[in-house]
Amino acid sequence: MRSFVSAVFFILMTFAASGYAGEQSDLFEVRMLQLDDATDKSAQQTLDESLLKAIRIELIRLTGNPSFLSQPEAETFVQSPKAWLKSYRYESYEQEGVKVGNWLVFEFDQQRFYRYFQQQGLVIWPMANRPTTLVMGSQLIAGTLVKLTGETLDYLPKLNYRNTALQLGLPIETPQYATNWVYPDADGSNQRVADILQSSDARYLLSFQVVASISGAERYKWQLFDRSGISLLQGETREEPEQGYFEDTFSELLRLYSAPYREQAEFLGSLTLTVDNIRSVEQLTELEKRLKAMKPTVHQVRLTSVEKHQVVFEVVYQGEYIRLVNRLAAMPNLVSVRDDAVIGQVNAEWE
């Protein structure tokens, strides 16, 4: 019978040649709502026009940087968006059992994106690093105030910001009850925000309001707070942009949230991971699979040696070293995780 070490070396070249792998990420699916009774320009787009818009959304979402579209690297994608598309489909959009439109769903080729980003040294902002934002919106029409809870938003497509946040890969919370509301009129800070976020997993609170006059003219204002109630960003417009109110707002949030990660992840690092007590090919396969599932933080995993029951991997990663070590320490079956940051060496045992 082939020994464990021999069996491992039999598959060594397969492991060494592989890069990104793992489970499908929701970062690679863009959903665009098309309402049956819509008359605006977005509802009349052709499939090619919708695909071009979708891949622009995809690039902003992956990088966390709206300015990426103006960089030369973006041209590779926008000039031939079909080359990056895996599939597309239509899904019915219903309200109270009545079809009112369709979702046009684009699924992009995850593996091809990962390979290209890795080859070009481009940074992907991982979902695990994206903070949750509690969103409190309201509408003021001729003195009548409407608080935009989850149920209210279902009947106000124009004010339903949830799909924009989903498109950009921003986790959000929407209040289900119209109590303890916050409005975008604070001067510097709002203590009520700090009180509200104490009982929430959200790290930020976004408040916005659309004010409509009797003549139909609208004014839109918004404000972003941190967990201390400090105002971080705010804006106001008196004309609705062609893409709607929320794309610019959420793009600003995206830029702010991703900036620290993008700044420290511009360069790739590597570490050596040594794992003892690996006693079967199945255990080795499971370990390698879990390491590669840490994409996009982990760029590449290469098995470099096997000796008795010890295996050694070279791991190429982006982002903070300590964050990767903490994720390794939290991995099932991996125990006694010890590291030496000076030499980039991590040792652990398989349980």
Q: How many angstroms separate the CA atoms of 288 and 300, rounded?
A: 11
Tens-digit pLDDT profile for residues 174-206: 999 998 999 998 788 899 999 999 989 999 999
pLDDT at 23 > cutoff 60: no
Q: Which 3 state secondary structure label does DSSP give 82?
A: helix
Q: Is 51 exposed, middle or buried (0-12, 13-18, 19+ CB in 10 A)?
A: buried
Tens-digit pLDDT profile for residues 209-260: 999 877 778 889 999 999 999 999 999 988 776 777 898 899 999 999 998 8
Look up residue 190 and give its two tokens: 């709002």
What pLDDT does residue 9 have? 36
Mean pLDDT along residues 143-169: 89
What pLDDT does residue 245 have? 84
Kindly report the number of other CB atoms within 10 A of residue 173's CB atom. 15
What pLDDT does residue 26 have? 75
Q: How confident is the model at residue 128 (pLDDT cuts 50, 70, 90)?
A: confident
pLDDT at 7 > cutoff 50: no
β-strand partners of 221: 209, 236
What pLDDT does residue 44 have? 53
Q: Are strands 269-276 and 298-307 parallel, antiparallel or unpaired?
A: unpaired
pLDDT at 139 > cutoff 90: yes
Look up residue 59 and give its two tokens: 């690039």
Q: Say which range, 19-23, 168-172, 266-270, 331-335, has the weakest mean pLDDT.
A: 19-23
β-strand partners of 302: 314
Tens-digit pLDDT profile for residues 324-340: 888 899 999 998 889 88
Tens-digit pLDDT profile for residues 62-99: 999 999 999 888 999 999 999 999 999 999 888 777 88
What pLDDT does residue 20 have? 32
Question: Which segments of 64-90 does DSSP mark as H helices, in order?
Answer: 75-78
Closest CA to 40 of 89, 86, 92, 101: 101
Look up residue 335 and give its two tokens: 């125990």
What pLDDT does residue 158 have? 83
Identify the helix (H) or strand (E) that includes residue 286: helix 281-292
Mean pLDDT along residues 253-276: 85
Look at the chain and count its residues: 351
| Strand extents, DSSP E, 125-268 | 133-141, 144-148, 172-173, 204-212, 218-226, 231-237
Closest CA to 20 of 262, 286, 299, 344: 299
What pLDDT does residue 185 have? 86
Q: Say which range, 21-30, 100-109, 292-301, has the weakest mean pLDDT.
A: 21-30
pLDDT at 19 > cutoff 80: no
What is the pTM assigned to this prediction? 0.69
Q: Between 220 and 39, name the one with better pLDDT.
A: 220
Look up residue 137 and give its two tokens: 């919106």
β-strand partners of 94: 99
What pLDDT does residue 37 have? 67
Q: How many angstroms separate the CA atoms of 53 and 39, rounded?
A: 18
Average pLDDT, the chain: 84
What pLDDT does residue 184 have? 94
Q: How confident is the model at residue 4 (pLDDT cuts 50, 70, 90)?
A: very low
